Amino acid sequence: MDISFIESLKIESYNFLTYNVNEREKFLCGVDIYKDITHEYFRKEKGEEKNIVPLITCGRIEFIYTSFDFLGLDGFEKLSGWDAFSHLVKLSAGINTMIFGETHIVNQIKNAFFSARKNGLCTDKMINLLGEIIRISNSLRKKLNIEEKNFSTFVLSKAEETFGSLEDKNLFVVGTGAVAHDVFKIAPKFKKLIIYSHSREKAEERIRRLKQFLDTEIEFVSSVQEGLEKGDVVVLATRHPGFLVKKENFEKLSRDGVLKHGKKFLIIDFSFPRNADPEIEKFENVRLFNVDSTAILKINPEKLELAEKFINDEIEKIRSRYEYRKSVSYLSEMKVDFESIIFEHLMKYTDLPQDEIFTIAKSLSKKLLARFFEKEKTKM
């Protein structure tokens, strides 16, 4: 790993620790990540190797790039060099994520880097950096024994907290991405899994695949309203840019603001931007969680201190390896210089055969290098 590359690393972050979901949504409104901010980076950056990776998740908007200067995005936290490197390691290890121990973030980071590479936004050096980050974060998880958690963990805990037994409850999931597939894992805890799709053909194919690894009844619905009528726990995890679950949906399910037949709802909206209108929480027996209310940041201060020490130790190892490789390269260059000087002088002042001169030059250069190395060691 090239030290100068890491030292040029920059991160500008707009995340859930500082800004709520309303503020993060306002930033994304009208912003095309690839056309606006990345275009500005390429316009300003004068270096030969340009690298910028936009990382957009439900909890953060970050730009990871290499430059001597920051882009200067208003309101963004700014990290540089080894601090930026350390931040990415912690993030991959499930520290400073919305759910402590979250593993889903690793795939999100990988997808961001690979997508940037595909779109010509980063070089192989940036991908190599990702490999180093993942390697250290995996070791950190093992070292601190960080329990692996995901969004499905949160859904299950809140569902059991709300309903107790789930054997007679239905799980309604809207979404086709990684978060939705993670939630599918807990479907066997419920009476039935209900999935939403515009296309019956696509839904049937999806159900067929899900039944290969889920031992539960699965049903398809073609409208959100139908899914709400049948579901008890509703999980939203899409990239849809607006509300899918609206006040009007619950007006159809209620009478005078009270849900019919004493029904209760748990709505968990993992989407960013949000897919559930906050107004629905005004209905009696509707419990709503958005991406910010899923945040579970529980870390022992001692573990955090150990994490910092572990990362710092790994950084020192990277630096040491780099210095060693630089020394080896320097010594190799010196040896070639010695050989060249000796060879030229012997060719000029002796009548020895060229092959013999080459052998002598090679032998003497090794001895001179060994002598030089011994003197350098005594100075240390």
* pLDDT tens figures, 143-175: 989 888 888 989 999 999 999 999 999 999 999
Q: Residue 306 is which amino acid?
A: L
State whether 84 and 29 are in the same domain.
yes
State whether 138 and 159 are in the same domain.
no
Record the tokens describing residue 283, joined without a space: 């209905």
Over residues 251-284, the pLDDT tens digits come to: 999 887 678 878 899 999 999 889 999 999 988 8
Record the tokens describing residue 155, joined without a space: 């859904």
| pTM reported for the whole predicted model | 0.76
Among the candidates 240, 274, 294, a domain finishes at 294
Mean pLDDT of 213-231: 93
In angstroms, the CA 61 to CA 188 distance is 34
Record the tokens describing residue 77, joined without a space: 């936290």
Q: How sure is the predictor about 126, in pLDDT bands with cuts at 50, 70 and 90? A: very high
Task: Evaluate if residue 379 carries a pLDDT over 60.
Answer: no
Count: domains in the chain: 3
Question: What number of other Cβ atoms are within 10 A of residue 103's Cβ?
Answer: 18
In angstroms, the CA 217 to CA 192 distance is 5
Lowest mean pLDDT among 4-13, 74-83, 184-193, 336-345: 336-345
Q: How sure is the predictor about 376, in pLDDT bands with cuts at 50, 70 and 90? A: low
Over residues 10-58, the pLDDT tens digits come to: 999 999 988 999 888 888 776 777 788 999 999 988 877 899 999 988 8
Instruction: Give the domain range for residue 283.
Output: 151-294
Over residues 319-358, the pLDDT tens digits come to: 887 676 666 656 666 777 777 888 888 888 888 888 888 7
**% pLDDT > 70, the chain:** 91
State whether 66 and 132 are in the same domain.
yes
State whether 40 and 136 are in the same domain.
yes
Q: Does residue 371 form part of some domain?
A: no
Q: Does residue 328 form part of some domain?
A: no
State whether 123 and 16 are in the same domain.
yes
- Among the listed residues 75, 106, 74, the one whose alpha carbon sits nearest the alpha carbon of residue 93: 106
| Whole-number average pLDDT of the chain | 87
Q: Are 44 and 63 in contact (CB under 8 A)?
A: no
Record the tokens describing residue 152, joined without a space: 């499905």
- HSE-CB at 42 with a 13 A cutoff on CA atoms is 13
Q: Does residue 43 form part of some domain?
A: yes
Q: Taken in order 98, 104, 106, 107, is the CA torsion positive or negative?
A: negative
Record the tokens describing residue 303, joined without a space: 């573990």
The burial of 350, by beta-carbon neighbours within 10 Å (0-12 exposed, 13-18 middle, 19 or more buried), is given as exposed
Q: How sure is the predictor about 374, in pLDDT bands with cuts at 50, 70 and 90? A: low
Listed in sequence order, the residues at least 6 apart from 228 whose beta carbon sits closer than 8 Å to its beta carbon are 172, 234, 245, 249, 250, 253, 265
State whether 265 and 360 are in the same domain.
no
Q: Does residue 324 form part of some domain?
A: no
Question: What number of other Cβ atoms are within 10 A of residue 43's Cβ?
Answer: 8
